[in-house]
Structure 1
Amino acid sequence: MTSGAFVRQQSRFRGRPHGGPERHHLYVALACPWSQRAVIVRAVLGLSEVLDISYADPYRDERGWAFTGGRFTDELNGFDFLEQAYRATDPGYDGRVSVPVLWDKEDRLIVSNESADIVRIFNDWAGGDLYPPELQEEIDGLNEWIYSELQNGVYRAGFARSQEAYDEAFRGVFTSLERLETHLQERVYLAGDRITEADWRLLPTLLRFDAVYHTHFRCNGKRLIEYPNLLRYTTDLYNQPHIAETFALEEIKRHYYTTHDELNPKRIIPAGPLDLGFTSA
C-alpha cells in the first residue's frame, strides 16, 4: 500500500431483511453520495410511499451524523445521533458511523449500512429491473472499476497524507473519467440503452464533482463540464423523474466544506461554480 494512502472503513452490517419495505426505515444524509444513491433507487422504484425515511443534518462533527430538528428529525425513534442506532444493534460498536442505514422497525436493529447492498435490496423488493440477469456480469464489472478508481478515488485524493498517495489517486480519477467519456461515446447509459443500477450508483459522484471534488479534494485536472459525453449523460439522468429532488447542493457543500477541518479549517463555503451544466437543460 502506498504510504499516506486513505483506506475506507468496510461496512460492518451487511444483513438481509426480514419482510418487506413497510417493516423498515431508511436513515440518510443527502449530503452523502452513498446515501443519495439509495434515495434515488428508492424513488425510481416507487418505494417512497412504503419505505419511510429520516434525513440527517449535513454538518457532522466528532459525534457523527445528527438529527438537529426540523427537516433533520428522526420521527421514528427520536434519535439525536445516528450512533444510537449503531449502539442499539451492537453495544460494543466503536467504528465510524456512516450513512445510509437500513433499519428494521420490529427487531430494532440495523439490517445494513452498505449502500451497494441496500440498492440491491430495494430492487428485489420492487421487482425492479436495475440488475437484470443478462447484464449482471457487465454491471458488476462496471461497478468495480468505477468505485475503485473514481468514486473512492476522489476520497483517496482528498484525504491523501503524502504526495505519492495523492498523485496515484489523482491519476486514477482522471484515467477513469477519460475511460467513461470514451465508454459513453457510443452508449446512452453504462450498460447500453437502458438505465441500470450502475448508472444510479455513479450519478451522485458526477453531480458532486465540479462543486466539491474538483476544489475540496484537489481533483482539479478537468471539470465535468469539459467532458461532452459525461455531461450529456449526467444531464439525462439528472432530468429523469424524481432525481433532481434528491440533489441537495447546499447541503452537499455545507457538509464537505464545514466538516473536514483538516482540508478547510476556516470552513469557508465557496460560492461557485456558477454553472454546473446539467441543471440548465
Structure 2
Amino acid sequence: MSEQGTYVEKSYNRDTRYITDRITRDGRDGWPVEAGRYRLVVSRACPWANRAIIVRRLLGLEDALSMGICGPTHDKRSWTFDLDPGGVDPVLGIPRLQDAFFKRDPDYPRGITVPAIVDVPSGAVVTNDFKQITVDLETEWSDFHRDGAPDLYPAALQDEIEAVAEPIYQDINNGVYKCGFAGSQESYDESYRRLFARLDEVSDRLRSRRYLVGDHITEADVRLFTTLVRFDPVYHGHFKCNRSKLSEMPVLWAYARDLFQTPGFGDTIDFTHIKQHYYCVHRDVNPTGIVPLGPDLSNWAAPHGREELGGSPFGDGTPPGPVREPVDPDHNPVLSAVK
C-alpha cells in the first residue's frame, strides 16, 4: 500500500476506498476461486501486504496463488517490478502495478496499492482490499489449503477476532501513520497518546495469554505482528513513536519474538526493504532520503519464554514447509545467522 491519504484539520486520514470485489468459492462477484488464475502482488516493505504474504505461506497457497514482488520504493505513479529481470513481472508482463489497475479502469482515480490480486488472463486488478484479501484466503480458498494448515479465522472466534483487531487497527496499525504524517502538534500528540495507550492495553491482554484470541495464531496476530516488526526499525524514529522502543516493552517484545521465530512470520521479513521504503519514499518526513544503518536487529533471535503460557502456534495443524520465495538472508540478520 502506498500511504495515500488526506489531511483534515491537519490530521491524517487514510483513503480506504478500495476495489472491493471478492474472489469467492461461488464466484458471486464474477471472480471464482481457481488455482493458477490469479496473482498476488505485494511488496515486502508494506505492512498491509506483509499480512497477505504471511497468510499465503501459513496456508500453503503457493501453488494455487502465485506472487509477484515489487521493489521497496515507488514514485507517485506506482509500485514497480524493479526486482525482476528487465523490470517486468514475468507472469503479468507489466513494469508497473498501475498497468493492472488501468486495465480494470482506465480512469482509476485513487492510489495504486499493495496487496492487490490480479486476474492473470485479463491482466486486470480484482481487489486491493487488504483486510478482505486475507480473510478470503483463510475462508474462501480452503479447498487449496495445505494439509495441516492452521485455521486462522475460526468461525467461533471471528467476532472476537474483529472486536480485538479493530481498535488495534485504528490506534496501532494506522496509528503509527497518524503520528508520522500528523500535520499539527495537536494531531500528533493525540495520535501518540492513543497509540501508546492501546499498546499498553494490548500488552496487558497478552501478559497472561500467548495469542490475542484463542490458544493458537489467528488473523488477529497476523494483523498486529506486521506493525510490531516495523516498530523499532522505522516507526520509533521515522514516525516519532518514541515513548518506548518495542524492545523496551517486555510483554509485546516477547510476543513479537515468539511470532517472528514461528515459521511463516520472521522468514517473510525483509528489514532492508522495510527501511528503504519508509526512509526513501517519505521525503516529506525524511527529506534527505538517508536510510539509517541501525538498529541492531539480531536480538529478534533471543529466547522469548512465551511457551510457558500454553497454547501452540498452529493448534492441531503443522508448520508450513520450506520457504518458496526466500528473503535475501543479508536483509534479515536472523536468517543471515543460519544461512
Amino acid at match of 2:193: R
Shift of 1:139: 0.3
Amino acid at match of 2:257: T
Cα distance 1:2–1:85, how it changes in 2: closer, same or farther (>3 A)?
closer
Count of residues in Structure 1 that have an aligned counterpart in Structure 2: 281
- Determine the C-alpha separation between the residues in 2 that align with 1:21 and 1:245: 24
Matches for 1:86-125 after TM superposition, within 5 Å = 86-124=101-139, 125=141
1:7 aligned to which of 3, 6, 13:
13
Question: Deviation string for 1:143-186 (max 9, x for gaps)?
Answer: 11000010100001000101111111101110111011100011
Structure 2 residue aligned with 1:183: 205
Residues 46 and 126 in structure 1, CA contact (< 8 A), matched pair in contact too: no
Amino acid at match of 1:13: I
Matches for 1:22-41 after TM superposition, within 5 Å = 22-41=36-55
Residues 231 and 277 in structure 1, CA contact (< 8 A), matched pair in contact too: no
State, as a whole percentage, how many aligned pairs show the same letter: 39
Structure 1 residue aligned with 2:229: 207
Whether 1:85 and 2:97 are equivalent positions in the alignment is no
Shift of 1:259: 0.4
Question: Deviation string for 1:15-71 (max 9, x for gaps)?
Answer: 111123421110000000001000000000011122111111101112221112437
> Which ranges in structure 2 are unaligned for 5 or more consecutive residues?
1-6, 24-31, 144-149, 304-339
3-state SS in 1 of match to 2:203: helix
Whether 1:253 and 2:260 are equivalent positions in the alignment is no
Residues 69 and 83 in structure 2, CA contact (< 8 A), matched pair in contact too: no
Structure 2 residue aligned with 1:126: 142
- Determine the C-alpha separation between the residues in 2 that align with 1:86 and 1:92: 9
- Determine the C-alpha separation between the residues in 2 that align with 1:130 and 1:69: 31
1:162 aligned to which of 180, 184, 191:
184
Residues 6 and 155 in structure 1, CA contact (< 8 A), matched pair in contact too: yes
Structure 1 residue aligned with 2:321: none
Structure 1 residue aligned with 2:314: none
Amino acid at match of 2:275: K
Shift of 1:12: 2.2
Question: Deviation string for 1:207-226 (max 9, x for gaps)?
Answer: 00001000000000101111
3-state SS in 2 of match to 1:211: helix
- Determine the C-alpha separation between the residues in 2 that align with 1:237 and 1:57: 25
Shift of 1:8: 0.5
Amino acid at match of 1:39: I
Whether 1:20 and 2:30 are equivalent positions in the alignment is no
- Determine the C-alpha separation between the residues in 1 that align with 2:274 and 2:168: 21
3-state SS in 2 of match to 1:103: strand
Whether 1:66 and 2:88 are equivalent positions in the alignment is no
Which region of structure 1 is more displaced relative to structure 2, 24-33 or 243-252?
243-252
Question: Deviation string for 1:186-215 (max 9, x for gaps)?
Answer: 110000311100001111100000010000
Question: Deviation string for 1:227-272 (max 9, x for gaps)?
Answer: 1111111111111113222100000000000001111111111111
Residues 34 and 64 in structure 2, CA contact (< 8 A), matched pair in contact too: no
Which region of structure 1 is more displaced relative to structure 2, 35-44 or 88-97?
88-97
1:150 aligned to which of 166, 172, 175:
172
- Determine the C-alpha separation between the residues in 1 that align with 2:214 and 2:258: 14
3-state SS in 2 of match to 1:216: coil
Amino acid at match of 1:93: Y
Tell me which of the two structures has the higher relative contact order, counting C-alpha pairs closer than 8 angstroms and 6 or more residues apart: 1
3-state SS in 2 of match to 1:111: strand
Structure 1 residue aligned with 2:28: none
- Determine the C-alpha separation between the residues in 2 that align with 1:95 and 1:279: 40
Residues 35 and 63 in structure 2, CA contact (< 8 A), matched pair in contact too: no
- Determine the C-alpha separation between the residues in 2 that align with 1:250 and 1:2: 32
Residues 123 and 130 in structure 1, CA contact (< 8 A), matched pair in contact too: yes
3-state SS in 2 of match to 1:250: helix
Question: Deviation string for 1:55-106 (max 9, x for gaps)?
Answer: 1110111222111243764111221111111100111112111100011223
3-state SS in 2 of match to 1:172: helix
1:195 aligned to which of 217, 220, 225:
217
- Determine the C-alpha separation between the residues in 2 that align with 1:107 and 1:143: 34
